[in-house]
């Protein structure tokens, strides 16, 4: 019988499996994707920050993945790590949490600890997950089984902070549930942080990412103002960033991406609206951030005009289409909106990214450039969207095409800053 079953072997679940397995816990991964299950069992990783060698070591240590929900029967601990996204209308989508909770409930036994790690609005653990578990299993949370919430803090590509050394918020439906959850995570997390309750822990997670969302929007709007006023926003940020207190530096760009930053504030806004509360700052931030890809497209068209190239038939190269530097993750990347806007203007769009093998707008693939120097020679304009390590400032400054830098990396006569 496994010590822990991790439900969802994605960017949250697989790093958790790695640490739990390293700590000597008998760990099983459950995922509904046959491709993911087969790949992991064969020693292949699909998650940034977890290598094939890491997965091979996990399997050698006794870990296995399965798509059979019977593995949940009698499990001592179940971690729900499935994605929480948005519906087509932009509202919270808990379909995968509901499916995972239902599967866990069918195999629930007395004494089991169930932990939700998926990010959601305050009240999800107590008001959504708990009733499902109780109704299907016939058991009571806090009496027959333990229920907790512990939000994930995974930063793909971060080599300094991982599951083990990042402080981890832990909360429980009851004090006894929290105690059991703290005891579990203490086996492979150095610094568990006890929260007063599940709603506080859920809100803390949303605040962490909403803080970034709002501040990125602030510097984006500052960048828009500076562009209209002839002010060098990058020098402004450099100077402000020298203050050793009272200022946290954020950088403008083409927009926000990833699973957390563009999504989590929408969960907070939706819950607030349901309670009749208006988060005006969130609405303002969303307005700014949704305008940024269009601003990048507009700057590109201006640049094409400056070099006397018509948009129709122009060759535009996107440099870096992942949502953050040196990772292959394209979830919610603003590169999609930028590419769509350029295609609508008649440009021929291609991309170069050392990490992303396939990039598409829905069913329409975007051509991937091969060798960087050749791609720069063939382009009319190159747009630096992501500052991957491969894109050094000196090389881009010597590019034969015009360069639009949205990241403040390059300085030179042929470079236009955001």
Helix (H/G/I), strand (E/B), else coil: 35: helix
Neighbours of 347 (CB within 10 A): 24
List 81, 177, 260, 401, catalytic entry: 260
* Among 15, 11, 141, 19, CA closest to 84: 11
Partners of residue 149 on adjacent β-strands: 116, 171
Its sign, for the CA torsion 301, 360, 363, 260, is negative
* Among 220, 391, 367, 379, CA closest to 290: 220
* Among 219, 237, 252, CA closest to 406: 252
Cα–Cα distance, 235 to 254 (Å, whole number)? 18
* Among 251, 252, 232, 256, CA closest to 241: 251
Q: How far is CA 360 from the centre of its chain?
A: 18
Assess whether 260 carries a catalytic annotation: yes
Q: What angle do CA 71, 77, 79 make, to 5 degrees?
A: 85
- The residues carrying an active-site annotation are 260
């Amino acid at each position: 019988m496994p010590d822990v079953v991790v439900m969802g072997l994605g960017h949250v679940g697989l790093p958790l499996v790695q640490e739990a397995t390293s700590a000597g816990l008998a760990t099983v991964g459950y995922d509904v994707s046959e491709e993911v299950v087969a790949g992991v069992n064969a020693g292949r990783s699909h998650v940034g920050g977890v290598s094939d060698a890491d997965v091979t070591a996990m399997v050698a240590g006794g870990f296995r993945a399965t798509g059979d929900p019977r593995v949940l029967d009698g499990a001592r601990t179940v971690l729900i790590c499935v994605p929480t996204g948005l519906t087509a209308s932009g509202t919270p989508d808990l379909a995968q949490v509901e499916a995972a909770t239902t599967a866990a409930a069918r195999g629930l036994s007395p004494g089991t600890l169930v932990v939700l790690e998926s990010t959601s609005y305050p009240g999800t653990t107590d008001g959504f997950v708990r009733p499902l578990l109780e109704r299907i299993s016939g058991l009571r949370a806090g009496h027959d089984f333990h229920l907790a919430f512990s939000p994930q803090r995974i930063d793909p590509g971060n080599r300094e902070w991982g599951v083990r050394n990042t402080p981890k918020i832990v909360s429980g439906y009851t004090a006894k549930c929290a105690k059991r959850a703290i005891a579990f995570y203490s086996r492979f997390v150095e610094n568990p942080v006890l929260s007063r309750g599940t709603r506080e822990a859920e809100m803390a997670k949303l605040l962490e990412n909403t803080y970034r969302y709002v501040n990125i929007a602030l510097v984006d709007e500052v960048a828009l103002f500076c562009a209209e006023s002839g002010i060098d926003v990058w020098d402004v940020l450099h100077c402000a960033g020298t203050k050793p207190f009272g200022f946290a530096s954020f950088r403008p760009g083409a927009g926000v991406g990833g699973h957390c930053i563009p999504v989590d504030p929408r969960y907070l806004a939706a819950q607030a609206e349901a309670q009749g509360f208006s988060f005006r700052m969130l609405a303002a931030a969303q307005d700014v951030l949704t305008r940024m890809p269009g601003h990048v497209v507009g700057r590109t068209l201006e640049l094409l005009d400056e070099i006397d190239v018509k948009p129709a038939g122009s060759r535009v190269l996107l440099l870096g289409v992942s949502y953050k530097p040196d990772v292959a993750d394209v979830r919610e990347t603003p590169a999609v909106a930028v590419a769509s806007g350029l295609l609508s203007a008649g440009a021929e769009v291609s991309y170069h990214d050392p990490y992303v093998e396939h990039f598409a707008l829905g069913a329409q693939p975007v051509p991937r450039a091969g060798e960087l120097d050749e791609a720069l020679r063939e382009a009319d304009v190159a747009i630096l969207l992501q500052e991957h390590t491969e894109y050094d400032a000196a090389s881009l400054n010597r590019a034969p095409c015009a360069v639009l830098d949205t990241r403040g990396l390059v300085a030179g006569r042929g470079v236009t800053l955001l």
